[in-house]
Amino acid sequence: MEPHAQDLWNQAAQRANSAYAQARRRVTIDPITRLEGHGKIDIFLDEQGDVEQAYLQIPELRGFEVFCQGRPAEEMPQITSRICGVCPTAHHMAATKALDDLYRVEPPPAARKIRELVYHAFMLEDHALHVYLLGGPDFIVGPDAPPALRNVLGVAQKVGPEIARSVISMRRRLRDLISHLGGKVIHPVLGLPGGVAKRLDPAKLPEFQQLAQDALDFALFTHQVFHDIVLKNPAYIELITSADYTHRTHYMGLVDEQNHVNFYDGQLRVVTPDGQPYARFDVRQYRDYIAEHVEPWSYVKFCYLKPLGWHGFTEGPTSSIYAVAPLARLNAAEDMATPRAREACREFFNTLGGKPVHHTLANHWARVIEMIQAAERMVALVNDPEITSDQIRRLPTERPTVGIGVVEAPRGTLIHHYETDERGLITRANLIVATQNNAARIAMSVDRAAKALIRKGDVSEGLLNRIEMAFRAYDPCFGCATHAQPGQLPLVLNLYDARKRLIRQIRRP
């Protein structure tokens, strides 16, 4: 072979070998499963087969903040409920509360209680979805079970058809309550500035009282199931408490006046990694405490504590990263707000070594405890005689300017912020969703699990699922989190700049 041809051959062989080696050093989980939205995990290995870095990438991009501009503010509870088909009630309620603030109008007591009843029914049925169908298979069926069994069918086989039917029946009944009061379960039309659109019919009260009691029995039953399947299994306890799924970060959640967990209203409380109070503030002050960081490899923005500044994906007392969601709510509050949930919460902290608990997988247990509080609140609300009052709305009279509302979505703190002109048309909308609040910690969790579990290139289906468990514990909704305006994220700008450079190179003589 001639020297020139030999050189070309050698160069081609080197490129092929390099590409082959690179492919062997990259593991991709695409798509990731049992979550809301879309995503993938890219894991890069070094020459020894250990993990250099793992990235949770969210490739979808949505523009709700942009196309809400110019719309009447009253439409926001209906528009934003379209963000997610799993948690529309959370967006609907946050938007409705933002309208209360926008028009400076306080709903009558009956309206507030109807909202709370609907919201606690939603919290309970949504948590049940994750406990039994999304996160639950990793424990009920087992993290190393075949993929064909790590789903609702595998859970039904493991727990038996009667329990499976009771789960489906309870979720259906709770969603029927939401449909009755909210008009529709997927896209509610209940909330209005200053109240609600429909009163609670006294004739329906006995049915709802029975449902609330059945819901409490179901939540307590779920807690017992978790005890029997997870807490009595030493291997699962070791998995939950392992360093592979542990991060020392700040925690944030809504609390009432007694610093007890509250899903519907209250102030935001933040505690340090050592559990010490860091801040307590009204949601209208959120911009003083929460800022957003952007990375070029994801369309999700990463929230952090603004006074502490962004220091990267780090943990510990000097880090500004915080978490929301069930575990964070229990850590940020001083206690639960209802007696049976309070009892379960104390067992939780006693078992896991005291407060705060930093184990990511403990989110599953915290979620079950929150199911109990949601059911207990339902029982209290349907037995409150004031809830059937026909005084369900106060009409707004103030000129709108700025409105900010907050609720605790199942996945964590959710903030809606609207600004309008004098006609009430949206000029600016900002949504801080739960998965944005958690995004930095989720990225850290995926990276840590990958580095701990993959050694010397040994990659199995079971190991990859255990890496997925790191993000699945947060019950993330990436459809909710990727709402940034196109053209403002570095990823978009980098792709645009790369395209321009390529065109210039092609046109260059």
Task: Give the pLDDT confidence of 51-88 residue by residue, as tens digits.
Answer: 999 999 887 777 788 888 999 999 999 999 988 888 89
**Which of 9-23, 215-229, 340-354, 364-378 shows the lowest mean pLDDT across its residues?**
9-23
Name which residue leads in pLDDT, 460 or 223.
Answer: 223
pLDDT digits (tens, 9 = 90+) for 285-312: 999 999 999 888 888 889 999 999 999 9
Name which residue leads in pLDDT, 238 or 151.
Answer: 238
Q: pLDDT > 70: what percent of the chain? A: 91
Let me know: does 190 contact 117? Beta carbons within 8 Å.
no
The pTM of this model reads 0.90
Measured in whole angstroms, the distance separating CA 428 from the mean position of its chain's CA atoms is: 24
pLDDT digits (tens, 9 = 90+) for 315-361: 999 999 999 999 999 999 999 999 999 999 999 999 999 999 999 99
**Which of 25-29, 201-205, 261-265 shows the lowest mean pLDDT across its residues?**
25-29
Let me know: does 174 contact 211? Beta carbons within 8 Å.
yes
Q: In what order do the strands lie in the sheet with 51-57?
A: 26-29, 40-45, 51-57
Over 70: is that where the pLDDT of 1 sits? no
Report the distance separating Cα 15 and Cα 7, nearest Å: 12
SS (H, E, C) 353-379: CCCCCCEHHHHHHHHHHHHHHHHHHHH
Q: How many CA atoms lie within 13 A of 40 on its CB side?
A: 11
DSSP state of 231: I
CA angle 98, 436, 65 (to 5 degrees): 50
| Residue whose C-alpha is closest to residue 193's, from 388, 400, 384 | 400
**Which of 64-68, 287-291, 411-415, 430-434 shows the lowest mean pLDDT across its residues?**
64-68
Name which residue leads in pLDDT, 266 or 5.
Answer: 266
CB contact set of 354 (below 8 Å; sequence gap of 6+): none
Measured in whole angstroms, the distance separating CA 247 from the mean position of its chain's CA atoms is: 17
Average pLDDT over residues 415-420: 97
Give the model's confidence band at 19: pLDDT under 50 very low, under 70 low, under 90 confident, else very high.
Answer: low
Let me know: does 247 contact 315? Beta carbons within 8 Å.
yes
Let me know: does 346 contact 365? Beta carbons within 8 Å.
no
Strand bridging mode 250-255 / 322-323: parallel
| Residue whose C-alpha is closest to residue 116's, from 82, 86, 89, 149 | 89
Coil, strand or helix at 116: helix
Q: pLDDT > 90: what percent of the chain? A: 73
Average pLDDT in the chain: 90
**Residue 9: what pLDDT?**
67
* Joined tokens for residue 300: 């999700």
pLDDT digits (tens, 9 = 90+) for 353-401: 999 999 999 999 999 999 999 999 999 999 999 999 999 999 999 999 9
Diameter of the chain by CA atoms? 96
Average pLDDT over residues 182-204: 94
Over 60: is that where the pLDDT of 487 sits? no
Name which residue leads in pLDDT, 20 or 50.
Answer: 50
C-alpha R_g of the chain: 24
Let me know: does 407 contact 263? Beta carbons within 8 Å.
yes
DSSP state of 229: I
184 residue type, one letter: K
Q: Phi first, then psi: what are they for 385, rounded to 5°?
A: -60, -20
| Residue whose C-alpha is closest to residue 182's, from 190, 194, 171 | 190
Report the distance separating Cα 56 and Cα 443, nearest Å: 6
Give the model's confidence band at 8: pLDDT under 50 very low, under 70 low, under 90 confident, else very high.
Answer: low
Strand bridging mode 250-255 / 267-271: antiparallel
Over 70: is that where the pLDDT of 93 sits? yes
Q: How many CA atoms lie within 13 A of 266 on its CB side?
A: 26
